[in-house]
Every structure is written in structure tokens, then in C-alpha cells.
């Protein structure tokens, strides 16, 4: 059996719409420096680096080689992972596997994106199968809109339910997270008055595109406590990249891959009652609608129970299961970093270092990634209570 693994350090940039002061390498540099500073480690202590982004946003080929400039990877083992929107979470998972394998003791995970350099939608359009699906599911929005339409029809969810998620996440970002990109409180009314982008999704239901980077340091458990007084142990990982045609997924209304990935991660972590056992979740919700229709995939409510679950307010900061204290993806979306930010934020919550956005007494946090063709990654993090 492999080594136990903990997260010991997290760093991120102050994300924004267009960072004109930094190029991508410099964004990475800031995030990595902050992660190292949070641990007292230097690059000399890092045994390997896993990096990820999506090539066509910045049009840089072989980013694993280019980014060496950003994190100081000279004479280091470096490997790149790219799986679309799930890139950030896949990078985190890959760094976890690096350490768990025993081949490396301390591994740096880096996700980044400088979306201001691209036409984001034009770049994403080409992910769809070129002959059959590119014309109508192109971009990130079409599939999400179709999926929520199905969910609304099937379970009676409304646009207002999704607006509640927008308000929750955007207000969390505004009030508590200095790193978030969009930091302006909004109301349900404002969401409902914003323009449709693709029915039933409106502008304020959607994530922005951001410039930013995130770095997370993973270490072997027996080194972790010495590095960080209170590390966040990786209790479980799960992943499902089950489809390659969007048409196979959107008709399911919920997110089936999330159900599979969560189940896998829960099994590994020994979680049987996710709603009660998980204290906080940082979820990759690319649109607020997902904050309604994907709750059942996480096992937080029964099938079709998403609307009631969100309306009840339990996922607000003062609720029983706060979701996205950071403000989540609809407040910040530097795509290759986004999944890794979820892992980093989940780790900060467990480590008690989430500052103003800290949820009290977090023992277990869940972090998810979403992308590709409605794929999901899930990582469960736990406090030292779970160190054996």
C-alpha cells in the first residue's frame, strides 16, 4: 500500500479579469512563492512538480517546459496534466499519486490560466466532437444550459433557485475572500434581471474567466506535521471521465460522473453520510444552476431534492454544510487553476487557515473538479483527527 499524503501548503494569486502586470510565468511565481512561504519550505525541498492548464487559452505549447520559469523548476522532475476544466483537480490528484507512490516525498501542484489572453469560448468550442457536436454544444455554456433545462423540467427547479446559488457564492466572495475575482454582492433580483446567455442561464448565473494561479504542496504524512502544524490529510480521491459526447450527459439532468467520483472518494474516506460528515465543500460549479442540480450527485440530498436543499439555506456560510466559502467558480475562474483552488481552499478550511472565510471546526472538507465532457473529480480532505 502506498504512503499516506497530506497537503501542507497553499498559495494563490489575487485573481482578476485581466492581470496586465504579470505574464503567466509570473502568476505561477506568485502562487508558488505564497505556497512555499506558508510552509517555510523552499524549492530545494520540492522533489517534483505537476503543472496544468489548457493550452489553447494562452496558445503556449509544452507548458510543462515553459512554466519551469515560473516555479523555479530547473533540474526538477516536471510533468504536465491536462484534462480540460478538471485540469486543476487532476493536477492535484496527480500530485497526490506522486507522493502516495513513494517515488517523491514533497510535490508541488501548480494550476494556472491567463484567460485574458484568449477568446475563451473560441478556444473551448474545439473540445466538442468536430462532426456531430461542435456546432451546437460548442463553448462551455450550451451543455450546462441544456442540462439545467432538463433538471427544471424533471424536478420543478427554477431560475430563481440557481439565482440563490449565485447570490450565495458571489456574496461569500465579496465578504470573505480577498483572492476572489468578482467581489460585488448581488441580489436574486439582479440575477433575474441580467441578460440570458443561453436559456435558462443568465449572465449572473455564469462563471467569469479569470487570470490567476494556484499552488498546493503535498507531502508524505510522516513529514507533513513537521512542515505544517496542522496539515490536511487526503482521505479519498475519486474520478469519473465517463463520456466524450455531451449529448450522452446533459439528458441525465444531474451529474452522473459526480455521483461515481464522489462514491469512490467517499468509500476510500469511509464517508457514509456525506451531508452530516462533511463540514464544508468547495465545488467546481461552473454555473449557479449546477449548485442546484449537482447536490444529489454529492449525496447531499435525494434525487430531485436540489431546489429544496438550496432554498433551505443549509449551504450558506451559517448553515450546516457551507458550500463555496471562497465564492467558488462563479466568482473566480482561472480555468487550469480552478479545480486546484477548490482543493487548496478545502485544505485551508481543514488547516484552519481560511481567515475570514473560515468555517468553524472543519474536520472534513470535500473539493470537486468539473470539466471535459461533464467529467468529475472529487477529493476528500480531513484534519489530523484522521491521522492514524
Partner 1 sequence: MEKVAIIGVGQTRYERNNPCSHDEMAFEVTNKALEDAGLTIADIDNSVTCTNDFWDGRTISCMTITDATGSSRVPTTNVEGDGTYGVLMGMTRILSGLHDITLVVAQSKGSIGEPNLITNAIFDPVYDRILGLDAVNSAALQAKRYMTKYGITEGQCARVSVKNHKNAKKNPYAQLPLDITVEDVLSSRPLADPIKLLDASPVSDGACAVILARESDAKRICRKPVWIKGVGHCSDMYHLGDRDLSDVSVLQTAVKKAYDMAGIKDPKREIHVAEVYEAFSYMELMWMEGLGFCERGRAGKLMDSGFTQMEGPLPVNPSGGVLSAHPVLAAGLARIVEGVLQVRGEAEDRQVQGASVALAHGIEGACGQGHCVYVLER
Closest distance of CB 162 from partner 1, Å: 25
Measured at the CA of 54, the angle between CA 248 and CA 346, to 5 degrees, comes to 85
| Separation between Cα atoms, residue 256 and residue 274, nearest integer Å | 17
The grid coordinates of residue 106 equal 514533497
Contact predicate 208/181, CB 8 Å: yes
Q: Which of 212, 238, 339, 346 binds partner 1 (CB under 8 A)?
A: 238
| Separation between Cα atoms, residue 47 and residue 31, nearest integer Å | 18
Closest distance of CB 255 from partner 1, Å: 15
For residue 103, state whether it binds partner 1 (rule: CB under 8 A): yes
Cα separations (Å) of 113 from 55, 67, 102, 218, 335?
A: 9, 11, 30, 21, 6
For residue 76, state whether it binds partner 1 (rule: CB under 8 A): yes
For residue 139, state whether it binds partner 1 (rule: CB under 8 A): no
For residue 195, state whether it binds partner 1 (rule: CB under 8 A): no
| Separation between Cα atoms, residue 41 and residue 48, nearest integer Å | 14
Beta-bridge partner residues of 111: 52, 214
**Nearer to partner 1 (CB atom), residue 69 or residue 192:** 69
**Nearer to partner 1 (CB atom), residue 103 or residue 186:** 103
Of residues 117, 1, 95, 3, the one with CA closest to residue 49: 95
Question: Hey, CA dihedral for 305, 207, 56, 345, is it positive or negative?
Answer: negative
Q: Which of 66, 194, 352, 384 binds partner 1 (CB under 8 A)?
A: 66
Q: Which stretch binds partner 1 (CB under 8 A): 119-127, 201-209, 218-226, 300-308?
A: 119-127
Q: Which of 98, 220, 263, 342 binds partner 1 (CB under 8 A)?
A: 98
Ramachandran angles phi, psi of 157, nearest 5°: -70, 160
**Nearer to partner 1 (CB atom), residue 117 or residue 363:** 117
Closest distance of CB 216 from partner 1, Å: 16
| Separation between Cα atoms, residue 186 and residue 64, nearest integer Å | 38
Closest distance of CB 53 from partner 1, Å: 9
For residue 27, state whether it binds partner 1 (rule: CB under 8 A): no
Contact predicate 337/371, CB 8 Å: no
Q: Which of 10, 54, 201, 329 binds partner 1 (CB under 8 A)?
A: 54
| Separation between Cα atoms, residue 31 and residue 112, nearest integer Å | 9
Q: Which of 123, 145, 201, 354 binds partner 1 (CB under 8 A)?
A: 123
Q: Which of 14, 22, 43, 82 binds partner 1 (CB under 8 A)?
A: 82
Size, binding site for partner 1 by CB under 8 A: 62
For residue 361, state whether it binds partner 1 (rule: CB under 8 A): no
Contact predicate 170/333, CB 8 Å: no
For residue 22, state whether it binds partner 1 (rule: CB under 8 A): no
Q: Footprint of partner 1 on this chain (CB under 8 A)?
A: 1-3, 23, 52, 54-56, 58-69, 73-84, 90, 93-94, 96-98, 100-103, 123-127, 129-130, 237-244, 264, 268, 371-373
Amino acid at each position: 500500500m502506498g504512503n499516506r499524503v497530506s497537503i501542507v501548503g497553499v498559495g494563490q494569486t489575487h485573481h482578476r479579469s485581466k492581470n496586465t502586470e504579470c505574464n503567466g510565468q509570473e502568476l505561477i511565481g506568485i502562487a508558488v512563492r505564497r505556497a512555499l512561504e506558508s510552509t517555510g519550505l523552499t524549492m530545494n525541498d520540492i522533489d517534483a512538480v505537476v503543472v496544468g492548464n489548457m493550452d489553447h487559452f494562452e496558445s503556449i505549447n509544452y507548458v510543462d517546459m515553459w512554466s519551469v520559469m515560473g516555479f523555479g523548476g530547473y533540474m526538477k522532475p516536471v510533468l504536465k496534466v491536462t484534462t480540460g476544466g478538471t485540469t486543476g483537480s487532476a493536477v492535484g490528484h496527480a500530485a497526490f499519486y506522486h507522493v502516495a507512490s513513494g517515488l517523491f516525498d514533497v510535490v508541488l501542484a501548480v494550476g494556472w490560466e491567463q484567460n485574458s489572453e484568449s477568446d475563451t469560448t473560441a478556444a473551448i468550442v474545439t473540445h466538442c466532437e468536430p462532426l456531430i457536436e461542435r456546432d451546437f454544444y460548442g463553448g462551455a455554456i450550451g451543455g450546462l444550459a441544456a442540462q439545467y433545462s432538463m433538471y427544471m423540467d424533471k424536478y420543478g427547479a427554477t431560475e430563481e433557485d440557481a439565482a440563490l446559488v449565485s447570490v450565495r457564492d458571489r456574496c461569500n466572495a465579496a465578504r470573505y475572500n480577498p483572492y476572489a475575482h468578482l467581489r460585488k454582492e448581488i441580489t436574486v433580483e439582479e440575477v433575474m434581471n441580467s441578460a440570458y446567455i443561453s436559456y435558462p442561464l443568465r449572465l449572473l448565473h455564469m462563471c467569469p474567466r479569470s487570470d490567476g494561479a494556484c499552488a498546493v504542496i503535498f507531502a508524505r504524512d510522516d513529514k507533513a506535521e513537521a512542515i505544517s502544524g496542522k496539515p490536511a490529510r487526503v482521505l479519498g480521491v475519486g474520478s469519473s471521465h465517463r463520456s466524450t459526447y455531451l449529448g450522452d450527459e446533459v439528458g441525465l439532468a444531474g451529474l452522473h460522473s459526480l455521483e461515481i467520483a464522489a462514491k469512490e472518494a467517499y468509500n476510500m474516506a469511509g464517508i457514509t453520510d456525506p451531508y452530516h460528515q462533511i463540514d464544508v465543500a468547495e465545488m467546481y460549479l461552473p454555473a449557479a444552476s449546477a449548485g442546484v442540480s449537482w447536490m444529489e450527485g454529492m449525496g447531499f440530498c435525494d434525487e430531485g431534492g436540489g431546489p429544496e436543499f438550496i432554498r433551505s439555506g443549509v449551504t450558506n456560510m451559517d448553515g450546516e454544510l457551507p458550500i463555496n466559502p471562497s465564492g467558488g467558480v462563479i466568482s473566480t475562474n482561472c480555468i487550469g487553476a480552478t479545480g486546484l483552488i477548490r482543493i487548496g481552499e478545502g485544505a485551508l478550511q481543514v488547516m484552519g487557515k481560511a481567515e475570514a472565510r473560515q468555517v468553524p471546526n472543519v474536520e472534513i472538507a470535500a473539493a470537486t473538479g468539473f470539466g471535459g465532457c461533464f467529467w468529475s473529480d472529487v477529493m476528500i480532505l480531513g484534519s489530523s483527527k484522521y491521522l492514524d
